[in-house]
Amino acid sequence: MKVLSLFDGMSCCRIALDRVGVTVDSYYASEIKKSAIKVTKHNYPDTIHIGDVTKVSFKDGILYTENCNYEVGHIDLLAGGSPCQDLSSMNRKQVGLSGEKSTLFWEYARILKEVNPTYFLLENVGSMPYSDAMEITKEMGVDGIRINSSLVSAQLRDRIYWTNIPGTGIDIFGNNYIEQPIDKKIKLKDILE
């Protein structure tokens, strides 16, 4: 599988793909945080770092970056979690998609159109204003799926996922959806050593 991960962080997408047994043939990562890149290079030395998302484009199977171009052909999965600081309810101003950091969502939307991957996955904070969630939903062309990681981990992390990856069920309207994970009831005390 050829993967293009935007806002890659420490390659959590790659970690997830490993855990579900997906073989990654090529992994292109757009990330600018040096500490995150260092962690990725340590864990996945074959990752191809492509730099700043605002300087990435794709046309006719070629991934254009600030410093180098890559003939990649078709991308199977475009993944990313654009910055949430301006969307999060933890930010008193909560300026939404027009904020300095959260406006980077539009880079994901642009690259999604350019790449036209087989699959896409976008993640962002669940506490965003409803109007912003609806704007992202309109842009992605699929409904967001709300999942709180507290179901499978010892942290409260409410998120919305937009994806065209086939789900495991059909709702009453005939739409594909992904079932919520089973609550493993993991508490912080369960993971502390």
Q: Quote the tokens at residue 175.
A: 């739409």
What's the DSSP call for residue 157?
Answer: -
Please give the angle made by the CA atoms of 93, 79 and 129, to the nearest 5 degrees.
Answer: 25
Consecutive H or E run containing 37:
helix 34-43
Bridging pattern class, strands 119-125 and 158-163: antiparallel
**Catalytic positions, written as ranges:** 84
Distances (CA, A) of 22 to 18, 27, 56: 6, 12, 25
Q: Which residues, including other chains, have CB under 8 Å from residue 188's CB and lie 6 or more apart?
A: 154
